Amino acid sequence: MKFSANLGFLWTEMTLPAAIIAAAEAGFDAVECHWPYDVSAPSVRSALRETGLPMLGLNTRRGGRGENGLSALPGRVGDARAAIDEALAYAQETQTQAVHVMAGFAEGAKARDTFLETLRYACEQAGERMILIEPLNMFDAPGYFLQTTDQAAAIIDDVGAPNLKLMFDCYHVQRTEGTVIPRLEALLPMIGHVQVASAPDRGPPDHGDLEYAHVWKALNRLGWERPIGAEYKPVGPTSETLDWLADLRAAASR
């Protein structure tokens, strides 16, 4: 089982290139991030080459103050496309494998139509690069357009692009739906990335309402081979929250 360090939450006290190196030293197999745009792509590319780690994904920009994405906002199609173009260009420079297109705060049929239109644009511009959409739970992101895996699955079906996939965040699914393993089983063909954190506190995946020992077994049984994203909020230094990773590595070596 392989793991990716989400550098939007882990080692945030470091620059992004330094965090990439820290993730490699900690034994992660890949990295991912949120919004890297204030860091030059060549410096990120250099750190990735130095460590040999792939960058799995990055997000489109949130937008202005109080926004959480633009792609489902009627009247903001031009801004949403510009954010997608920027993300894809950065992904190309850093050889990042996927771009998460953030929907934003919206609701209703017009927002859905806007999201479909914007996703079709993203998928066309991405070529073979993966485009991801992610449902966010209603507690952390009230009013976010995309809230459930059923809603995401219907959108993926309607867009009909082979490179549009679901970002399955076990934390969000547990908080909203509470049926993580059955949803993994049902949605596996359309899942492009899996992320983990404890629920409900979004800490390391070693405690809380979701028993990750069962999740690991389910992912192994389902044949999941891509690195799993550790997108959790550490309390204290990241290096002091990695016992879960060391335990899994030790178990795998026995």
Buried b (16+ CB within 10 A) or exposed e, 89-120: ebbeebebbbbbbbbbbbeeeebbebbbbbbb
Q: Which of 86, 93, 128, 134 is catalytic?
A: 134
- The reply to whether 13 belongs to the active site is no
Q: How far is CA 9 from CA 40, 128, 230, in A?
A: 19, 28, 9
In 34-145, the DSSP E strands lie at: 57-59, 98-100, 130-133
What residues pair up with 230 in beta bridges, in sequence order? 5, 196
For residue 43 the two structure tokens come to 């410096």
Residue 115 near residue 155, CB atoms below 8 Å: yes
Catalytic entry in 124, 225, 231, 240 = 231
Omega within 30 of 0 (cis) for the link into 234: no
Instruction: For residues 116 and 130, give the distance between their C-alpha atoms in angstroms, rounded to a whole number.
Output: 16
**Which stretch of DSSP H or E encloses residue 6?**
strand 3-6
86 catalytically annotated: no
Q: Determine contact, residues 160/198, Cβ cutoff 8 Å.
A: no
CB atoms within 10 A of CB 142: 10
- Known catalytic residues are 134, 231
